[in-house]
Amino acid sequence: MKANKIKNTRIYDADHDVLKAFKGSGIEIIIGLPNGFLKDISVSQDRAMDWVKQNVEAFVPGTRIRGIAVGNEVLGGGDPQLWEALLPAVKNIHAALDTLHLADHVEVSSPHSAGVFASSYPPSAGAFKETLMPYMKPLLEFFSKINSPFYINTYPFLAYISDPEHIDLNYAIFKKNKGIYDETTKLHYDNMFEAQIDATYAALEKAGFGKMEVIASETGWASRGDPNEVGASVSNARTYNKNLRKRLLKKKGTPYRPKKVVKAYVFAMFNENLKPGPTSERNFGLFKADGSIAYDIGFTGLKPSSAISLFSLKVCNKL
């Protein structure tokens, strides 16, 4: 990561070996409180305090923990008990940070999937599912109060493989295309990534939180897939992530929020060779499991290479 000028990363737990490894690196890291802990922490401030002491206080400031993702894709999932536990868990974790005088340095958030949307096309039609609003609105109210952004896991790859007959691949991977025109806002989109971000802004606006910042907590493209996973290829993965990198380096906003710089974490750092599920699930990495590059977007692998990275990009680890 240091060799490739990667300054920010996310992990999906709080593995102590990983947190020790990042000590003194200067790399900012967001750690994860897994979904399995939510119910316990939602009903126990003491449990929340223990978790924060063991997984945050014990490692800062040497390890630059800048955030805790409380749960992952909870409201887009199918467990109503977790929906109910999410906000109390968020509040208890934040209260623990506050008590330990860490709340000003460690952000509390909770990434969402596209499953929270009732609609997202065209972007101006972005809206949250009504069934989730009793949980989403109070969560947004609390995040607004503590100045946390809205994190969304956004995947043009998943949209494309679900409907390749009607979605232009070039639109999905930032290549030249005719794009789409949103009649309501009179805005033109030449890539799906920005359209998905603006659909999120539209949904937040309808919910009463138009000023909240949106950050892509995950985005990426699979370099291999099963026969039914159309578009999963090394060429498309390289094109998507290379063009995403160029887009992020411009430090510009979206058509609907031109003054809010787009920020994103690329999923993932490594191919997860032991992960179950479709072939694509094991092939989102910029690097292979042995540390060599999966394909070239300008990064250097663990083996000597002439490729030198001159840019800063947030990369999402899933270990």
Q: Is 218 a catalytic residue?
A: yes
Q: How far is the CA of 151 from the CAs of 24, 31, 238, 260, in angstroms?
A: 27, 14, 24, 14
Question: Cβ of 138: how many Cβ atoms within 10 Å?
Answer: 14
Q: Which one of 73, 107, 194, 229 is the catalytic residue? A: 73
Question: Cβ of 194: how many Cβ atoms within 10 Å?
Answer: 24
CA distance 138 to 118: 18
Tokens read off for 143: 């995040």
Question: Radius of gyration (Cα) for the chain, nearest Å?
Answer: 19
User: CB-based burial of residue 179 (10 Å sphere; 0-12 exposed, 13-18 middle, 19+ buried)?
Assistant: middle
CA distance 244 to 241: 5
Q: Which one of 107, 194, 218, 229 is the catalytic residue? A: 218
Quote the Cα angle for 257-64-310, to 5°. 60
Q: Is 73 a catalytic residue?
A: yes
What is the distance, to the nearest Å, from the Cα of residue 25 to the centroid of all Cα atoms in its chain? 22
Q: Kindly state the greatest CA–CA separation across the chain.
A: 55
Residues 6 or more apart whose CB falls under 8 angstroms from that of 277 comprise none
CB 225 within 8 A of CB 279: yes
Question: Cβ of 174: how many Cβ atoms within 10 Å?
Answer: 22
Instruction: Give the catalytic positions in this structure.
Output: 73, 218
